[in-house]
Amino acid sequence: MKNCFRMVNVGFMVCVRRINYALYEEIETEDVERTRDVYRECLKLIPHSKFSFAKIWLLAAQFEIRQLNLAGARQILGNAIGKAPKDKIFKKYIEIELQLGNIDRCRKLYERYLEWSPENCYAWSKYAELERSLAETERARAIFELAISQPALDMPELLWKIFERANSYYKDSAPELKEERATLLEDWLNMETNFGNLGDVSVVQSKLPKKLKKRKPITREDGSTEYEEYIDYLYPEESQTTNLKILEAAYKWKKQKLASSEEDYD
């Protein structure tokens, strides 16, 4: 064990010196090819099957990006994922592709990320967030379903936060999307149920809507009218608003009644 720590420490110090040398070549002498060679040799020195340093891979990739060599940066990050995958490498690679607007590449990277680390709630939640930001509701839902089906998750509270934010979005910013919100809450309820003792079903149950059968008129081509049944959703906050309106109407009626009685008395 001591020998292993010593090897890692020595390797790290060697890499630090080479990084400093690479920065010197890039900034002071402006020798692009020499800088590239230094990073390449540094990565060759590291026994990646035993230990690796995400920072070296990222610095080498960022150097290529500064040279506008996107293909070179992708090759470095791809090699990093193949030889020594780490969270930092996946996150940076996805960030780069997202900035470039390469959504399909981001999806493939998230898939690789989750193949390597299927218990990683951060990766699941960010992947679902990406799809939701693209209005790909079905994709986002499928990702959540895959996440909660995993035998183990490192931080399930991250998934809870995603559901909370999504529910708040539907409630405050898109109240017309009642059915989509109901579907989200059903998925959330399933997740809490699957977590067993770790879940909190009551939190979601308090947010569930009542399903109401309603009818709406539909005008046919010949001008006649028929009625079609549909399901509407009444959410808890809407029920409270409705109750308040009823109370306000009752109070107003009572006030008018009293005023009318006083006029009759006069």
- What average pLDDT does range 56-71 have in this prediction? 91
Q: Is the pLDDT of residue 68 over 90?
A: yes
3-state secondary structure of 217: strand
- In 3D space, the residue among 140, 171, 156, 151 whose CA is nearest the CA of residue 238 turns out to be 171
Look at residue 260 in the predicted model and tell me its pLDDT: 62
Residue 217: C-alpha distances to residues 105, 225, 228 (Å):
47, 6, 6
Look at residue 106 in the predicted model and tell me its pLDDT: 97
**H/E stretch holding 227:** strand 225-234
Rounded Cα–Cα distance for residues 168 and 181 (Å) = 9
Look at residue 6 in the predicted model and tell me its pLDDT: 44
Rounded Cα–Cα distance for residues 191 and 50 (Å) = 37
Task: Output the CA torsion 26→29→33→39 (10° steps).
Answer: -40
Q: Please, what are the domains in the chain?
A: 1-116 (1.25.40.10), 118-208 (no CATH), 210-252 (no CATH)
Residue with tokens 């009625």: 227
A 10 A CB-CB count for 150 gives 16
pLDDT digits (tens, 9 = 90+) for 196-254: 666 678 888 888 898 888 888 888 888 788 888 888 888 887 766 555 565 566 657 66
Cβ neighbors of 196 (< 8 A, separation 6 or more) are: none
pLDDT digits (tens, 9 = 90+) for 122-155: 999 899 889 988 988 888 888 888 887 787 788 8
Residue 130: C-alpha distances to residues 79, 102, 103, 167, 187 (Å):
25, 12, 9, 16, 18
3-state secondary structure of 161: helix
| Most confident of the ranges 5-9, 14-18, 53-57 | 53-57
% of the chain beyond a pLDDT of 70 = 74
The lowest-confidence range among 186-190, 218-222, 259-263 is 259-263
3-state secondary structure of 101: coil
Average confidence score pLDDT of the chain: 79
Say what the pTM is. Answer: 0.64
Q: In the structure encoding, which two tokens stand for residue 141, read together?
A: 């839902």
* Angle subtended at Cα 207 by Cα 201 and Cα 213, rounded to the nearest 5 degrees: 115
Rounded Cα–Cα distance for residues 19 and 16 (Å) = 5
